[in-house]
Amino acid sequence: MGVSAGASALITGANKGIGFEIARQLGQAGLQIIIGARNRERGAEAAHKLADEGIAARYLHIDLTDPASADQAAADIRSREGALKILVNNAGISDPRDGSPEHAELGAVRRVVETNFLGTLSVTQAMLPLLRKGRPARIINLSSGLGSMTLNSDPDWEYARYKLIGYSASKAAVNMLTVQLAAALKDAGIRVNAADPGFTATNLNGYQGHQTIPQGAAEAVRLALSEEDGVTGGYFATYGRLPW
């Protein structure tokens, strides 16, 4: 899929951090950017920043905890752009009350899973008719190495000490969504892949990460713009394919 000038890309959680950088880079590649964000003021401000850089961008209200907002956003895109070429499911949360299975607060775990997984699922379902109209199209789900069952079961993995049952379970569920959706859409002209941004310094982790935000955005952008044929149902980081 080459990038068609004016084709539309929706990036959720794009008012800041990695999401904003993904939006910026896709906009620089010639796509019409739709910034999905819960906070209306910050979302509109992000769209204005991109517009100041010469990128065609607008804001739409999308709250992962409110499926009706995804349906309303889809209706808006249908009436204005007509179709979507790219959906980047970037929005997500963490919670300081999350933790190991022995100590995590159940309410925090529920909030993280409902937002990161069920919210992502609701947005994807709402946008699928628009992606079908825009095919060949792409869905990129932002995941994490913390969602890998293989890596989590390796005591020598560099991040093995991070035990966040809610966040890890939510990203493992996003990975399952990626696999099942890729299988369902394999003949529909819509590729679905998961991207691990790596340990990037963002608000989500209190800016503890060692990567820059452009480095964290790189793999999602590559998957969105890659012209490789047939790459779907995969789980990727900048250094290669990850184990589920």
- The secondary structure of 5-71 as a DSSP string is TT-EEEEETTTSHHHHHHHHHHHHTTPEEEEEES-HHHHHHHHHHHHHTT--EEEEE--TT-HHHHH
Both tokens of residue 242? 């990850």
Distance between CA 1 and CA 89 in Å, rounded? Answer: 19
| Catalytic choice (16, 59, 85, 171) | 171
Which residues partner with 1 through β-bridges?
none
Query: What is the distance between the alpha carbons of residues 112 and 187, in angstroms, rounded to a whole number?
Result: 32
Q: Tell me how far CA of residue 205 lies from CA of 157, 162, 208, in angstroms.
A: 19, 12, 6
Closest CA to 47 of 9, 26, 20: 20
Contacts of residue 108, defined as CB under 8 A and 6 or more positions apart, other chains included, come to 95, 96, 97, 98, 166
User: Residue 208 contacts by C-beta under 8 Å, 6 or more apart in sequence?
Assistant: 199, 201
* Pairing mode, strands 86-89 and 57-61: unpaired
**HSE-CB of 23 using CA atoms within 13 angstroms:** 34
163 is catalytic: no
- Catalytic, out of 16, 59, 167, 235: 167
Assess whether 239 carries a catalytic annotation: no
Which of the residues are catalytic?
167, 171
